[in-house]
Amino acid sequence: MQIYFLSIIVNIIISMILMSEDFGEKIKYFKKVADSFQGLTKKLLLALSAMLIGIIKLVAPVEGLPVIGDFLPMVAGFVLGGALLVASIKERSDVENQAIDKLEKVMLHYRGIIGAGGFIISIMHFLLPTLPIL
């Protein structure tokens, strides 16, 4: 149960941070959340937490269908954590790296969409916890 709530909270926070640049003017709360998580340490902690929770959701048995039971929240955790990790690394690093540049082009160009998708999946996971794929 704790992993369930932790997954929802971390994914929603990362979603708000990722959406803050695209939707920050319309939804001021997203900008406030993003501002409260400024700094490399906080972002890295959130990103690694989301990815670790995704691994736990993959390994831990779920009532009903194993692996598929929490598939979308698990994938959302990996993608959201990866996007925040890439954004944090790119924000602080001046070193040119082809792998990071490719990830940046994909993940950061679509960060608003990735954030919105993660936000929707997290809310649906909270409201419909027994749905097989959520």
Residue 58's Cβ-count burial label (10 Å; 0-12, 13-18, 19+) is: middle
Residue 101 has pLDDT above 70, yes or no: yes
CA atoms of 18 and 115, how far apart (whole Å): 5
Give the pair of three-digit tokens for residue 42: 């906080």
In degrees, rounded to 5, the angle at the alpha carbon of residue 20 between the alpha carbons of residues 11 and 128 is: 30
- Mean pLDDT of the region 22-45: 83
Q: Where are the domains of the chain?
A: 2-127
Mean residue pLDDT across the chain: 83
Residue 123 has pLDDT above 90, yes or no: yes
DSSP code of 131?
S
Q: Which residue reads 């997290």 in tokens?
A: 122
According to the model, what pLDDT value does residue 27 have?
Answer: 83
According to the model, what pLDDT value does residue 12 have?
Answer: 92
Residue-wise pLDDT for 45-83, tens only, equals 999 999 999 888 888 766 666 666 688 888 999 999 988
Model confidence at 13, in pLDDT bands (50, 70, 90)?
Answer: very high
63 HSE (CA, 13 A, CB side): 5
CA atoms of 96 and 85, how far apart (whole Å): 16
Segments of the chain assigned E as strands: none
Q: Is this structure's pTM higher than 0.75?
A: yes
